[in-house]
A and B are shown apart, each in its own frame.
Chain A
């Protein structure tokens, strides 16, 4: 598949950000290709659905609409191809993929995110998987991850996917905390988890608000919070959310047979003598997401650690440019947010790429500004917020890091 005439824009990642950018850029007559290593396009969106104001938001339908528009606009989509190298030479990017090399004047990295594991004894047993894997198996491949499972980790993904699995007829024994360890840190304590959950109250208003209302006063007062969390947990969509229970180990000979659970106090310390076994045939670990950004690093882009954005992110400005000429980013590679924000970012990145290529004429500033304001609006009204304070974190990030000068070859270190 070695092609001679370079594309105007090559997008890595056929998820919500990448496909939205492809539609926008192809609509401005750019020659666009999208490459993705998953066998079918759509990204993780094709396995997502949730209830929203009384109806179901189904990610697969949104992806199909984007794919229809891509196909009408002549966007080339190459699935099942892994990109393993990205190099710029003579103003053209050369990407080596498992299916041959591809060339383009501009590259948009929309590679999304990967999952953070919570390692614990027994976590390498077959039947232990990331929460996203359970989602992909059930909602994309239509194979149940198991008959009865336990979710370890309390966060947006855990809550949303537990509900999805439950709807598919998979029995969920409960959602429990990971034990406090060097990787999980303080997020594994009941207090921190509850604080995180408050950001989700709109997803399951009644049970969370009930417990949350009482707990809010207690947050910050060590130990008191546990008083408000019953040991049996609270039920959300019929799934027991056990904020006073941790997973101690996963047990089984050749695959998962049970999980040893224990109760903890408000600070996350295990209460002696509270250990017992829960029989399950699969375990899903929900450690949260981090930006999947290796290709940006290979391309020579500098990185910054931003906790609220989910980890190390490539330096970029609010228009989605990186300091490397011809290299742009959109979606979760820039920070962990929902699919709708990623779509808005994709459109913004495409507008910026068109503006930088001189295609938008005298209106370029207005078009980019409008796309930027759209991202802010979507972010402000997002139903699913992975991290509290994302809006402020973004503003701070762009103030501090967005003012770089682009370098033609490679980049200078910041600061």
Chain B
């Protein structure tokens, strides 16, 4: 999705952010250091942040401020985090929240 470089009312972002690379699901992605992981992924056109633990259906950002927990994904070294609140760091190794095996969820879905 497009970034807003110079907002017509708010102007440009006050503190410029350094471009960094990170890895998402094994692919190299570019983002800005310090922005939330969810914002970096959205800017890169990636909307699916997680697979539902039982059904495996795709899930994305919903509330963007840490309330809904829909955007949880894995960051190596940090574990499961909320993508909307976790600042991006250079070289982060990120993978989407995973569907769990039936042995864990205890339910069989088609």
With A136-B65, A137-B42, A254-B48 already in contact, the answer to whether A146 and B60 are too (CB < 8 A) is no
CB–CB A129/B63 < 8 A: yes
- Taking CB atoms, residues of chain B closer than 8 Å to A142 are 3-5, 7, 13
- Taking CB atoms, residues of chain B closer than 8 Å to A37 are 66, 85
Q: Tell me, in angstroms, the Cα distance from A130 to B71 when the chains sit together.
A: 13
> In chain A between 128 and 167, which residues have their CB closer than 8 angstroms to a CB of chain B?
128-130, 132-133, 136-139, 141-147, 167
Q: Does A124 contact B (CB under 8 A)?
A: yes
- Taking CB atoms, residues of chain A closer than 8 Å to B7 are 139, 142, 168
Main secondary structure of the interface of B (DSSP, over half): loop
- What 0/1 readout, one digit per residue, does chain B (83-102) give for beta carbons within 8 Å of chain A? 01101000000000000000
Q: Does A404 contact B (CB under 8 A)?
A: no
Q: Find B66's partner among A82, A129, A137 (CB 8 Å cutoff).
A: A82
CB distance from B95 to the nearest CB of A (A): 16
Q: Tell me, in angstroms, the Cα distance from A128 to B57 when the chains sit together.
A: 14
CB–CB B2/A144 < 8 A: yes
Q: Find A145's partner among B1, B59, B85 (CB 8 Å cutoff).
A: B1
CB–CB A292/B67 < 8 A: yes
CB–CB A255/B64 < 8 A: no
Q: Does B30 contact A (CB under 8 A)?
A: no
With A132-B63, A137-B64 already in contact, the answer to whether A126 and B3 are too (CB < 8 A) is no
Q: Does A60 contact B (CB under 8 A)?
A: yes
CB closest chain-A residue, reference B1: A144
CB–CB A39/B85 < 8 A: yes
- Taking CB atoms, residues of chain A closer than 8 Å to B49 are 126
CB closest chain-B residue, reference A255: B47
**Size bracket of the B interface:** 35 or more
CB distance from A280 to the nearest CB of B (A): 13
CB distance from A134 to the nearest CB of B (A): 8
CB closest chain-A residue, reference B44: A143
- Taking CB atoms, residues of chain A closer than 8 Å to B67 are 114-115, 292
Q: Tell me, in angstroms, the Cα distance from A133 to B10 when the chains sit together.
A: 18
> In chain A between 204 and 235, which residues have their CB closer than 8 angstroms to a CB of chain B?
none
> In chain B between 35 and 82, which residues have their CB closer than 8 angstroms to a CB of chain A?
35-36, 39, 42-43, 47-49, 52, 57-68
CB–CB B10/A49 < 8 A: yes
CB–CB B1/A38 < 8 A: no
- Taking CB atoms, residues of chain A closer than 8 Å to B42 are 137, 143, 145
CB–CB A129/B60 < 8 A: yes
Seed contacts A125-B58, A143-B2; 10 additional CB < 8 Å A-B pairs: A38-B85, A44-B65, A126-B61, A128-B60, A129-B60, A129-B62, A143-B1, A143-B35, A168-B7, A254-B58
10 contacts between A and B (CB under 8 A): A39-B34, A39-B87, A130-B62, A130-B68, A132-B65, A133-B61, A136-B65, A168-B4, A169-B2, A255-B47
Those 5 A-B pairs whose CB atoms lie nearest each other, nearest first: A126-B60, A133-B64, A126-B47, A141-B39, A136-B64
Binding site for B on A (CB under 8 A): 37-39, 44, 49, 56, 58, 60, 80, 82, 114-115, 124-130, 132-133, 136-139, 141-147, 167-169, 254-255, 292
